[in-house]
Amino acid sequence: MTAPIEVIEIRLAIHGGEPVRRKKFPTVSDASGRNIGEEELKELGEVIMSGKLNRVYGDKVKKFEQEFAGLFGVKHAIASTSGTAAIHVALGAIGVSPGDEVITSPISDMGTIIPVLFQGAIPVFSDLRRDHLTLNPDDLKKRITDKTYAIVPVHLFGMPADMDPIMEIAEEKGLYVIEDCAQAYLAEYKGRYVGTIGDMGAFSLQQSKHMTTGDGGMTITNNDELADYARLFADKGWDRSKGRRYVMLGMNYRMTELQGAVGLAQIKKVKWVVERRRKLADRLNNELADLADVLHLPIPPKNVKHSYWQYPILVNIEKLKISISDFSAALRAEGIPNSAGYIGEPLYLKTPLIDKKTFRRSAFPLMNPFNTREVSYYKGLCPDTEWILERLIVIPWNEYYTEDDVDDIAEAITKVVKYYLES
């Protein structure tokens, strides 16, 4: 007589079952997930002993800029105080002015659009591709007006945007392209590093990025004229070759020698960081491959290399009959850190834009005499973007994960998916 087949019931941790994992993962928030140590201390010690903490008197930031430019194979790198500043430096260099429109992604950090607003320009949002979470060139073209001055594609989570059609549109319309590479160190598009394809590229050196100086930014370009304007903009518009002469309006975004010192040590490690993250992500992609009808994984197309700042997954909530917040909570209960929806709602639904609460006593530039048409942000502006955020789970990613860590993530995701499929 054949023995009956044993049916194993899945009991989620959120319902009182045993979690897949109890041990904490390495995190970018502390030393467990950051490659910071003796090399940084050596560089910092030299700065302290020199007494030169300002970049004007020291040489660490200058060397960091040179090595950063060398890493990406470009002529110029201009250091600043944050990724937000790096974008602002680029926008200031290309001359974005009040009344201009700048098209960008609705899913990003506020740091992408704060510089646009401070230049008196209007952020315009193009919808995203559902497959790669980057600008949809077809929608982008529809958003262009006679006021459009620049495009800022965001290489979200380390996935390169589809740059060929974006550059074709920009060339046809005479627009600048500033690449937001804050999350995309050494990501590649058809053999080229992102940040080297447009007119300028902007990078973040904030605590969580592939390489860090705590906070900091870098703007790169091959254009000599734009590089000159970028350096002026980052240094209060001060042309130091001509005494105390200010030749344009700029910001004080000078990186300190302390940040430059840490950057010099970090830049020697970033290739290992990116390659390690890719290897671990490939493992998770393979382990979750059988769930392709329920999960859309961050697998790059041919001729593209992802750099996996984080690991985003689109969940088929219709098939699982569950909200993304409930899926996130169930996965978290299994011991896997994650966030549902990343930024929650698109940038255009954030208070400063939808309620026109920009400056304390005015709604400039969203309401100003330079506008020739009403600026309006509303739910439904970018429907594919909103569809994405309702299905998006983001898992922190780290070069110090072990294969066992990745296996735990895969096991927990599989457990949660199978439970809801069978419920």
In which residue are the tokens 């007494």 written?
51
φ/ψ bin of 219: left (φ > 0), alpha (ψ from -120 to 50), beta (otherwise): beta
> What average pLDDT is seen over the chain?
96
pLDDT higher than 70, residue 7? no
pTM over 0.85: yes
Pairwise CA distance, residues 268 & 184, whole Å: 17
Which pLDDT does position 54 carry in this prediction? Answer: 98
pLDDT higher than 80, residue 362? yes
Pairwise CA distance, residues 349 & 341, whole Å: 14
Where helices occur in 355-400 by DSSP H, the ranges are: 383-389
Residues facing 150 on adjacent strands: 102, 176
Pairwise CA distance, residues 71 & 176, whole Å: 23
Pairwise CA distance, residues 187 & 134, whole Å: 14
- Provide the 3-class DSSP secondary structure of residue 95: coil
Pairwise CA distance, residues 336 & 177, whole Å: 37
For range 62-89, the mean pLDDT: 98
Instruction: Give 204-219 pLDDT, tens digit per residue.
Output: 999 999 999 999 999 9
CATH 3.40.640.10 spans which residues of the chain?
A: 38-268
Residues 6+ apart with CB under 8 A from 21: 334, 335, 336, 408, 412
CATH code assigned to 13-33+270-342+386-422: 3.90.1150.10
pLDDT higher than 70, residue 6? no
Residues facing 246 on adjacent strands: 238
Token pair of 280 as six digits? 């671990």
In which residue are the tokens 């048409």 written?
373
CATH 3.90.1150.10 spans which residues of the chain?
A: 13-33+270-342+386-422
Instruction: Please state which architecture CATH assigns to domain 38-268.
Output: 3-Layer(aba) Sandwich (3.40)
Amino acid occupying residue 346: P
Q: Between these two residues, 104 and 6, which has the higher pLDDT value?
A: 104
The closest alpha carbon to 91, from 254, 209, 256, 250, belongs to 250
Q: How confident is the model at residue 374 (pLDDT cuts 50, 70, 90)?
A: confident
The closest alpha carbon to 222, from 64, 75, 72, belongs to 75
Instruction: Provide the angle, in degrees to the nearest 10, between the axes of the packed helices 83-94 and 224-234.
Output: 120
pLDDT higher than 90, residue 298? yes
Q: How confident is the model at residue 283 (pLDDT cuts 50, 70, 90)?
A: very high
Which pLDDT does position 8 carry in this prediction? Answer: 61
Pairing of strands 188-189, 304-305: antiparallel
Q: Between these two residues, 372 and 106, which has the higher pLDDT value?
A: 106
Instruction: Give 211-247 pLDDT, tens digit per residue.
Output: 999 999 999 999 999 999 999 999 999 999 888 899 9
Residues 6+ apart with CB under 8 A from 14: 329, 330, 333, 334
**Following DSSP, what letter does each residue of 200-238 receive, concatenated?**
EEEEE-BTTSSS-SBS-EEEEES-HHHHHHHHHHHBTTE
Q: How confident is the model at residue 165 (pLDDT cuts 50, 70, 90)?
A: very high
